[in-house]
């Protein structure tokens, strides 16, 4: 098995954020990049999951990753405008609530407390920590209404059947993820969904027979070529995991482009994303197409 290259440290991340910031200011396109970052898309995806219990056919998941809520003014209002009065079976938040990797958390918490009470779900809101979050934030996140899964699992029951939701700690920078611990309470033949901040634990998840891997972190590249190809993903995982739907050894995967922007608060050729996933027991006619609501 090939070893993954090391994740960039704080200094490298700082350099990577300053370069595009300076470059786009000199090009006179900085304001355009900010405007792009505030043009969120709500994307609908249907995902066929072999082994999904029949009671969960049509199960909807609102996936919000990389919120960076204190980085772009007005972001919470944009998210709520897109969601409207919709209700979901489950909401999953894939980490990185704060814009920076250091400093006060109060500004992002204020925005999180504005956001979460308006998200309507049947089974609740669950989250994991990202590389911009730290363990000390967990009590505040839970007080705001998000149940945190830190190398942990919970059972979700519906219509007399159940699935398991597992969540692991950050596999990107802190590398404190422990899939073995998270899956220790999951029955061997159970259908399980793994929520992680980044796709970098995809091989470990497959070894633990996760059926569906949900994550973010890459921002889909955030600043991409005109074709949408990422220039940089900040992930040690292969590029096929950088955004959208993917598969690995029978495990379904989905990587969100993220809601907010990190480093330089800019986006080019890569809109921010609110993802709504509908799980299906079998292939549906429109399963391979994703609907974009600008």
Q: Based on the number of CB atoms within 10 Å of its own CB, is 25 exposed (0-12), middle (13-18) or buried (19 or more)?
A: middle
Looking at residue 292, its pLDDT comes to: 38
Phi-psi region of 51 (alpha: psi -120 to 50; beta: other; left: phi over 0): left
Looking at residue 19, its pLDDT comes to: 59
- CA–CA separation, 256 vs 92, rounded Å? 11
Tokens linked to 196: 């992680």
Cβ pair 228, 242 in contact under 8 A? no
The model's pTM is 0.90
Which residue in 244, 158, 169, 164 sits closest to 208, CA to CA? 164
Looking at residue 276, its pLDDT comes to: 98
> How far from 192 is each of 180, 185, 246, 260, CA to CA, in Å?
13, 11, 17, 27
Strands 192-195, 212-215: parallel, antiparallel or unpaired by DSSP? Answer: parallel
Looking at residue 108, its pLDDT comes to: 97
Domains present along the chain, CATH in parentheses: 12-284 (3.60.21.10)
The beta strands (E) that lie in 149-289 are given as: 152-158, 161-167, 192-195, 212-215, 244-248, 251-255, 273-280
Looking at residue 88, its pLDDT comes to: 98
Looking at residue 17, its pLDDT comes to: 52
Interior angle at CA 158, CA 155 and CA 163, nearest 5: 35
Query: Which ranges of the chain have pLDDT less than 70?
Result: 1-20, 283-294
Q: What is the CA radius of gyration of the chain?
A: 18
């Amino acid at each position: 098995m090939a070893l993954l290259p090391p994740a960039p440290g704080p200094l490298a991340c700082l350099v990577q954020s300053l370069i595009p910031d300076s470059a786009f200011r000199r090009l006179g396109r900085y304001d355009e990049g900010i405007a792009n970052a505030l043009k969120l898309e709500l994307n609908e995806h249907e995902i066929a999951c072999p082994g999904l219990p029949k009671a969960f056919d049509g199960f909807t998941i609102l996936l919000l990753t990389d919120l960076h809520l204190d980085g772009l003014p007005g972001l919470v209002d944009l998210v709520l405008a897109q969601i409207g009065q919709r209700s979901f079976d489950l909401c999953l938040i894939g980490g990185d609530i704060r814009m920076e990797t250091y400093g006060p958390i109060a500004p992002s918490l204020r925005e999180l407390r504005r956001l979460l009470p308006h998200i309507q779900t049947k089974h609740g809101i669950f989250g994991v920590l990202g590389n911009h979050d730290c363990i000390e934030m967990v009590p505040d996140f839970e007080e705001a209404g998000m149940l945190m899964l830190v190398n942990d699992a919970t059972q979700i029951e519906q219509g007399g059947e159940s699935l398991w939701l597992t969540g692991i700690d950050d596999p990107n920078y802190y590398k404190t993820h422990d899939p073995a611990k998270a899956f220790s309470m999951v029955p061997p033949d159970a259908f399980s969904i793994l929520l992680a901040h980044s796709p970098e634990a995809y091989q470990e998840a497959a070894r633990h027979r996760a059926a569906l891997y949900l994550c973010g972190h890459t921002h889909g590249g955030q600043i991409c070529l005109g074709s949408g190809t990422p220039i940089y993903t900040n992930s040690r995982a292969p590029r096929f995991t950088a955004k959208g739907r993917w598969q690995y050894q029978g495990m379904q995967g989905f990587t969100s482009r993220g809601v907010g922007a990190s480093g330089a608060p800019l986006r080019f050729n890569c809109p921010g994303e609110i993802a709504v996933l509908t799980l299906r027991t079998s292939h549906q006619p429109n399963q391979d197409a994703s609907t974009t609501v600008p």
